[in-house]
Structure 1
Amino acid sequence: MSAAQIAVTGVGMITPAGADVNETWHRVCEGASTAAAVSPELAGLPVEFCCAVPELDVGRLGRRNVLRLDRFTQLALLAAREAVDDAGLDTGTWDGARVGVVIGCGIGGVGTWEKQHARLREHGASTVSPLFIPMLIPNMVAGEIALAHGARGPSLVTSTACASGATAIATARDLLLANRCDIVIAGGTEAPNTPLTTTGFANLGALSQAQDPTTASRPFDVDRDGFVMAEAAGVLVLERVDDAAARGHRPRALLAGSGMTTDAHHPTSPHPEGLGAVRAMRAALDDAGLAPRDVEHVNAHGTATPLNDVVESRVINQVLPHRPLVTSAKGVLGHSLGAAGAVEAVLTVLSVQHSIVPPTANLDSPDPALDLNLVGKTVRQQPIGVALSNSFGFGGHNVVLAFCRP
């Protein structure tokens, strides 16, 4: 195994399944879908349901931040705070110049964009908020996390569509290995449950048209017909293994390797043979110094779209013919776009830590054409020494993260 391992010393999440890591993990392990017709804003649209985070605790966030920040930044701030606390770090005493922030986001402040555009059209230019631009632009989420924690090292936002969160984590690992930082707060965030974004994905044919929201997201099921839009944020605190050991903090897991490739095939469709994804999985294993046979679990991208699940199954079977356990969290959480790779990275870390693979919700009739060793209905308990987390995005982006037990 590679010596270039990075310690995952803290994790944080806020998702439709809960306001923190423990709540989300419990609901994901239950396999209970979070999809519901929760937003009046979606009424009358081609798809009226989504997976939404429960009402934000204004006390945790601060009323000022509720007013001046778009929701995608609010979610990330909460997840980052939990991750830093979980890592046992004191932001008041750390060397902020050696702390970086890398956050993935596919869209940014689309909710702010839609609301301010409506003001402009209906009431004139004077009613547009002077905070419109800082609320909207995606890079501000990294800046706000840096501001909140006194992180004065490199800060940036990665945007690779639905692979954005995973790209951020891989980039953070590179910063640590290059000795540009000692600590990196890394993850992803997205708040896309808006009328325009939902309609765009629906008209693209990507969203489920199911009548029952709770059974709409069906990864790898023979009756799958698209994903369910979701919002979320997931954050990991990453450090070099020796630095974590020096302060006496035992990691939850190790980020052992990463692989990043591009299909260069089609704007929105994966390569039919998954060539780029195959290369990404193999690159992650090579980077980690692992053999395919070492992998015991794959947290799949598993969007529940007809094409993605077919291609991903081919990729997994080609790279990992020994049939490791496969699951997709999107049956429970929906698809949170730029946040998905980070949320699923946290879930993969928890699987390694707790020796548990959560079920794939709504997997009532696994598609026999896919031939995967899928975990459905109930959790599977077994030691997980090595696990991969797959993330693929529009534009042909492929990112695979390899995690292992400390």
Structure 2
Amino acid sequence: MSRPRVVITGLSGLTPLANDIETTWKRLVAGESGLGPITHFDCSAYDSRIAGEVKDFVPEDVIPAKQARRMDRFTQFAVAAAQMLMRDADFRITEDNAYDVGVILGVGLGGLQTIETYHAKLLQSGPSKVSPFLIPMLISNMGPGQIAMFTGAMGPNIVTTTACASAIHGIGTAYSEILLGRITAAITGGVEATITPLGVAGFTALKALSTHFNDDPARASRPFDKDRDGFVIGEGAGLLLLETLDSARARGARIYAELVGYGASDDAYHMTAPREDGSGMIRVMRNALRDAGLAPEAIGHINAHATSTLLGDRAENRAVKEVFGSHAKKIKISATKSMTGHLLGASGGIESVFTALALYHEMLPGTINLVEPDPECDLDYLADGSEKVACEYAMCNSFGFGGTNASIILKKWTD
């Protein structure tokens, strides 16, 4: 029996570039940076003092004030992005379809801000000052949980927490649930909000963050460049509405792209570093190609994980060359973290949104700050800016701590 076709009928985002996906996309293809000095807290004593913050976000504009106070920032992002998503898709959840709509969301660290706030109160004033909402605010599954409460979606409600691969694993899980016939639609993607004192301190201690460009934040995220010195932490949300083609056609929905393949793998190697030969990344891309039933030569575009770390960028470059052989040089590769920073658990969500829009608009985003490529990073990274290119298939990669890897493949929609 043939499996159902799954299409993307809605997109939304809150990003360091803008608080809506339309403006984010325009700034992205224009090659603008959303990075700047950290303003969420006093970071003067930190080695890394730059981030990709979501700016001018007022949760009370979209969430009743009492409810907003009982949410961590990551959950506020999730609810706001979900409301934008439903409007973009013109999708309504009713008594008739509520059980057929799932919410499956990637979240990396959850309510880190809440943990820090209430730990300080506990130490300063004792346990009586800890809010009864502490646990519901900090747990990762409150992102999809609150989305369900606001939208009425009563299908499977799941959070995937696999570090920086969380969102694509969430998308892949939602895709699998639809393929199995358990649901006909899913709100999916990723969300994260960890630009906090402890979050930045922890990543800095790992020597993972950029520290050389504090005085020039827009230049700090430099995927594949020889002067890259770590990633720039970001925050935000990127959501997609997945739907069976039959459902989308029945309601006359706009279709951005078709989701045709998903792969997962693990390096089984190191807590934070990838295998230098990229073998786990090789497996995950081949798994996605096999799931889609495609030859490597079918892929015309890749939105790379490309965090701007020394080992990660080199390993991904090697993996692409191994998977795609001589075709690798023909693939147009975007490293959009050069403009947004690394949104951690949300990164695959917003980058999947970018990949869908790249196919839909036939416009592939460029990679900024690639001034002098690392000699070991020798593919076409669109360093000269965005290109108007029509391609049929595109891949989006995410690789996380613990060696966890995820890839999806999208197909340009043609009716």
**Considering the TM-score relative to the shorter chain, is it more than 0.5?**
yes
Answer yes or no: is the 8 Å Cα contact 2:3–2:179 preserved in 1: no
Deviation per CA, 1:312-337: give whole Å up to 9, x if none: 00011111231200011111000010
Answer yes or no: is the 8 Å Cα contact 1:45–1:195 preserved in 2: no
282, 285, 298: which one pairs with 1:281?
285
Distance 2:364 2:95 in 1: 37
Matched with 2:48 is 47
| C-alpha displacement of 1:352 | 0.6
Distance 1:203 1:160 in 2: 21
Matched with 2:148 is 146
Structure 2 SS opposite 1:296: strand
Distance 2:307 2:340 in 1: 11
| C-alpha displacement of 1:66 | 2.5
Matched with 1:228 is 232
327, 330, 334: which one pairs with 1:327?
334
Matched with 1:15 is 15
385, 390, 397: which one pairs with 1:383?
390
Deviation per CA, 1:321-364: give whole Å up to 9, x if none: 31200011111000010000111000000001011111112111
Matched with 1:121 is 123
Distance 1:110 1:139 in 2: 13
241, 247, 250: which one pairs with 1:246?
250
Structure 2 SS opposite 1:186: strand
Matched, 1:266 2:267: no
Q: 1:147 to 1:168 in 2, by over 3 A?
A: same
Distance 2:3 2:359 in 1: 19
Distance 2:404 2:55 in 1: 30
Matched with 1:347 is 354
| C-alpha displacement of 1:23 | 1.2
Deviation per CA, 1:271-320: give whole Å up to 9, x if none: 11111111111111111111111100000000000000000000111112
| C-alpha displacement of 1:4 | 4.7
Matched with 2:70 is 68
TM-score with structure 1 setting the length? 0.97
Matched with 2:38 is 38
Answer yes or no: is the 8 Å Cα contact 2:98–2:154 preserved in 1: yes
Matched with 1:165 is 167
4+ residue runs of structure 1 moved beyond 2 angstroms?
Answer: 2-5, 40-43, 91-94
Distance 2:63 2:383 in 1: 36
Q: Quote the sequence identity (%).
A: 42
Matched with 1:26 is 26
Deviation per CA, 1:364-384: give whole Å up to 9, x if none: 112232111111242111102
Answer yes or no: is the 8 Å Cα contact 2:53–2:234 preserved in 1: yes
Matched with 2:108 is 106
Structure 2 SS opposite 1:320: helix
Distance 1:352 1:21 in 2: 15
Structure 1 runs not aligned, ≥5 long: none
Structure 2 runs not aligned, ≥5 long: none
Matched with 1:316 is 320
Answer yes or no: is the 8 Å Cα contact 2:49–2:211 preserved in 1: no
| C-alpha displacement of 1:130 | 1.3
